[in-house]
Amino acid sequence: SPCWKWHLKRQCPWKAWFQFFKIIIVTTQLILFGIERQSHVIFMSESNITFHHLFVRDWTSNDETLPYPRASGDFAVYTYKDFIHSINYVVHRFSHLTNISLGLFDYHDHSTQTPFNFDSESNEHFITLCLDRFKTCRIDPICFKFNATNNFDVEEYLLNVHNETISFCGLNSLTLEFSLHAIQHKNQKLFSLPDCYHFTVKITFDNNARTGKIRQHLDSQAQFRTCNRKLIHQDSNFTLKRRNLLVGLDCIVLFITIISFILCIRSLWFGHRLC
C-alpha cells in the first residue's frame, strides 16, 4: 500500500497522489458540466412555459402545475367560435411577438442561410397550418404556409385562398407550426458565452375522439445554433479565455484518464505475474 511504501522505503506514493489529483479534476469537471447543463434545461423548460402564455388563449399559471389527480380538466375548446378564435389568437400573437414578448425571441428568417441571424429585417413571418382529416374514407393530410398578419382570419384564409372549409365531422387534428430564434444570456457566469437556440413550436388541436371536446396542447423542440459574432459581449476576449480554460480542463481530464487506465493495466499485469 502507499503507506507501507512510505514507511519502509521512504518513497513518495506518487500513484496514490495521482489518483487523488484525478478525483479532484474529474469532480470539478462534473460540477461545471452540471451547472452548464442545468442552465440549458431551465432555459428550455421556462421558454416552453413562456410559449404557452404567449400563444395559448386563456392559459393561466394554474395550468402549469401537474398535481395528481389534476385539479382541473384538459385544456380544450368546445365551440366553433372558440376554436376559430384560438387559431386566430396564435397567428395574431405570433405576428406581434417581438413587441409583446419579454424574452429574447426573434423570427426565423427563411430567406437567409446564415447559422443564426438575429438582425432580420424581413416582414414575412411564416406559419404552417396542417389539416389532418378524413376525405372519402381515407386520411387526407393537407398543409398550407402563410404569412402571419394582425388581421388574419383562418376561415377567410381557407375559403378565399384554398377554397377549403373546416368540417369537424372529418377533422382529426389541426396543427399550427412555426420557428423562432432565442438567445440565452448568462449574466457573465463562469465560462459563460451566450447560447443560441432554434425553437420549433407546434400547437395541436386534437379532435380524434369527436366528442365535441377539442384538446389543445403546445409542444416546443429546441436545437442549438451557432451564435452570430455580434452577440458576443464587449469583453469577449476575457470570456473566450475562460472558455479556453474549460477546454483545457477537458484535455487535462482526458490525459489523466488515459494515464490512469495505463496504470491500472500495469497493476493488473504485475498482479497476474505474482499469481
What is the span of the domain harbouring residue 187?
Answer: 38-61+71-231
User: 254 with 130, same domain?
Assistant: no
pLDDT digits (tens, 9 = 90+) for 50-63: 999 999 998 887 77
Strand ranges in 149-227 using DSSP code E only, listed in sequence order = 171-184, 195-206, 214-225
Q: Please list, in sequence order, all residues whose beta carbon lies within 8 angstroms of the beta carbon of residue 158, skipping any fewer than 6 positions away.
A: 144, 164, 165, 166
Residue 157's alpha-carbon distances to 74, 149, 151, 174, 192, in angstroms, are 29, 12, 11, 15, 46
State which amino acid sits at residue 235.
Answer: D
Question: What span, in angstroms and rounded, lies between the C-alpha atoms of 242 and 105?
Answer: 27
**Contact in structure between 178 and 146 (CB atoms under 8 Å):** no
**Total-model pTM:** 0.75
User: 251 with 130, same domain?
Assistant: no
Closest CA to 92 of 154, 155, 144, 158: 154
Judged against a pLDDT cut of 60, whether residue 69 lies above it is answered with: no
Q: Do the domain assignments include residue 31? A: no
Q: Do the domain assignments include residue 57? A: yes
Q: Do the domain assignments include residue 275? A: no
User: 171 with 219, same domain?
Assistant: yes
Question: What span, in angstroms and rounded, lies between the C-alpha atoms of 22 and 243?
Answer: 21
User: 239 with 223, same domain?
Assistant: no
User: 47 with 161, same domain?
Assistant: yes
pLDDT digits (tens, 9 = 90+) for 93-142: 999 888 888 888 888 775 555 555 555 555 668 899 998 888 766 777 88
User: 256 with 180, same domain?
Assistant: no
User: 247 with 156, same domain?
Assistant: no
* Number of domains present in the structure of the chain: 2
Q: Do the domain assignments include residue 250? A: yes
The DSSP annotation for 21-50 comes to: HHHHHHHHHHHHHHHHHHHHHHHHHHHHHH
User: 177 with 216, same domain?
Assistant: yes
pLDDT digits (tens, 9 = 90+) for 141-155: 889 888 888 888 998
Q: Which three cell numbers stand for residue 220?
A: 416546443
Q: Do the domain assignments include residue 51? A: yes
Q: Do the domain assignments include residue 27? A: no
